[in-house]
Amino acid sequence: MSGVAPALGAPPPSDAGGAGGAGGAGGEPRDPAHRARPATRLDRLRARRGWRTLLGSVVPVSWAVTLLLVPYVLLLAQSFWRLRDGVITHELTTENYRRLFGTPLYPATILYSAGVALRVTVISLALSYPLAYVLAFKVRRHRTLMYMAVIIPLWVSYLVRAYAWKIILGQDGILNGLLLSVGLIRAPLTVLLYSTAAVVVALTHIYTPFTLMPIYAVLDAIPVSLREASQDLYAGRWRTWLHVTLPLSLPGVVAGCTFAFVLSMGDFLAPQLLGGNDSALMVSNLVWSLFGVAFNWPLGAAVSVVMLALTLALLAVAGAVEARGRYGQVATGAVAEYAGPI
């Protein structure tokens, strides 16, 4: 949305070329030397620059309005409409929200989804931070290669990655096969697939690169001399990490955790494919069935709005945490900029 301000504040295109003859008629006293002044190249350049600024901001602003603002406004409006006998009436009501908070199922689903997302976030962070640390500070040769190896899963289709876990965890799956052949189990385990754990594992696999990337980026940007200065000032490796590396990498940690949390909380395919009957009810699946199966768009919209509000609140908190890490600077962090496509 930041494109709006410069657009409105941009100087109007200069009209120096046409101002000549009309100058006197306007009643505005003008320097006679100014009157017949032809448009200079600078004037034309300024005019063109003005148009460009205007044009350059119209595109992103209209983009944002049509693709972000309009859908959200429609969603918000939808959530206040009444469903009567399976038909949506344009009649304002808070009934959807009252039903949402009045039925234990909905808050419980949101909490359950948050629980899954939290577990994914914690595991992703636990995996990403050490890996990013080693990549950024310890690996000398083939660093890009190793980084790419971690990032490559992103290039594989989401569906392929999700189905891969079906193959691994299924009753005739790779894991069961392995356990059977080693002799740890006699009969294939059925609890592996279609469970919350399967969803958490798959989501962790899918979203860990999103945690790793920002953490690696901030760690890589920390000058070696800062860590050396810390060691020079009597701090060992552990305290150097605690007092210098960690605080400086916090923005990346916050960004990475936010990615993992928000993305996995909004995920609905992995729960659909890998979750059990109960765990298929992540909040996104709920929204999906409200819109698609129950055809209760207003209630679906209300759930979406609540989710959106929760996510924005989370982003705000993350942004604040990130800004607190920097001394003497009020910063809007990288996280805040990710508020868009949810």
Partner 1 sequence: MTDDADRSAGPLAGHDRPIVELRGLTKRFGAVVALDAISLAVRAGEFLTLLGASGSGKTTTLRLIAGFDVATAGQILMDGVDVAALPPFKRPVNTVFQQYALFPHMSVRDNVAYGLRMRRVRAADVTTRVADALDLVQLGALGDRAPRQLSGGQQQRVALARAIVNRPRVLLLDEPLGALDLKLRRAMQLELKRLQTQLGITFIYVTHDQEEALTMSDRIALMRNGRIEQLGSPTDLYDRPRSRYVADFIGETNLLRAVVAGTGAAPGLIRVEVAGGATLDVAMPHDAAWLARAGTETWVSIRPEAMTVCADGHPTGTPTPGGARPGGQVVLAGTVTAAVYAGSIVKVHVALAGDASVVAHHTPATAPTPAPGSAVRVMASADRAMLVGA
Q: Which helix (H) or strand (E) holds 162?
A: helix 158-169
Q: Identify each DSSP E strand in the chain by its residue range.
A: 81-84, 87-92
**What is the 3-state composition of the chain as percent helix, strand, coil, each rounded to the nearest 5?**
70, 5, 25
For partner 1, the closer of residues 230 and 284 by Cβ is 230
Q: Which is nearer to partner 1, 181 or 329 (CB)?
A: 329
Rounded to whole angstroms, the Cα distance separating 50 from 30 reads: 24
Q: Bridge-partner residues for 205, per DSSP? A: none
Closest approach, Cβ 144 to partner 1, in A, equals 20
Smallest gap, in angstroms, from Cβ of residue 264 to partner 1? 30
Task: Please tell me whether residue 23 binds partner 1 under the rule CB under 8 A.
Answer: no
CB of 247 to partner 1, least distance (A): 5
- Residue 288's CB is within 10 A of a number of other CB atoms, namely 16
Residues 245-284 that bind partner 1 (CB under 8 A): 247-248
Q: Which two tokens stand for residue 50?
A: 């003005």
120 versus 215: smaller Cβ distance to partner 1: 215
Handedness of CA 66, 68, 71, 76 (dihedral sign): negative
Question: Cα dist. 113→170, 172, 202, 205, 278 in Å?
Answer: 23, 28, 14, 17, 12
In angstroms, give the least distance from the CB of 12 to partner 1: 37
Per CB under 8 A, the list member of 27, 328, 340, 341 interacting with partner 1 is 328
34, 44, 52, 243: which one binds partner 1 (CB under 8 A): 243
User: Least distance from C-beta 235 to partner 1, angstroms?
Assistant: 5
The residue among 214 and 275 lying less far from partner 1, judged by its C-beta, is: 214
- How many positions of this chain bind partner 1 (CB under 8 A)? 22
- In whole angstroms, what is the distance from residue 137 CA to residue 129 CA? 12
Closer residue to partner 1, CB minimum distance, 182 or 330:
330
Among positions 222-241, residues that touch partner 1 (CB under 8 A) are 223, 225-226, 228-236, 239
CB of 135 to partner 1, least distance (A): 21
* Residue 325 in contact with partner 1, rule: CB under 8 A: yes
Residue closer to partner 1, measured from CB, 34 or 243? 243
Give Cβ neighbours of residue 277 (< 8 Å, ≥ 6 apart): 194
CB 279 within 8 A of CB 196: yes
Per the structure block, which two tokens stand in for 191?
Answer: 């609890």
Q: Give the x-and-dash track for 197-226 against partner 1 (CB under 8 A).
A: --------------------------x-xx
In this complex, which beta carbon is closest to partner 1, that of residue 155 or of residue 238?
A: 238
Query: How far apart are the C-alpha atoms of 147 and 150, rounded to whole Å?
Result: 5
- Region for 156 from its dihedrals, namely left if φ exceeds 0, alpha if ψ lies in -120 to 50, beta otherwise: beta
Query: Which residues of the chain form contacts with partner 1 (CB under 8 A)?
Result: 223, 225-226, 228-236, 239, 243-244, 247-248, 325-329
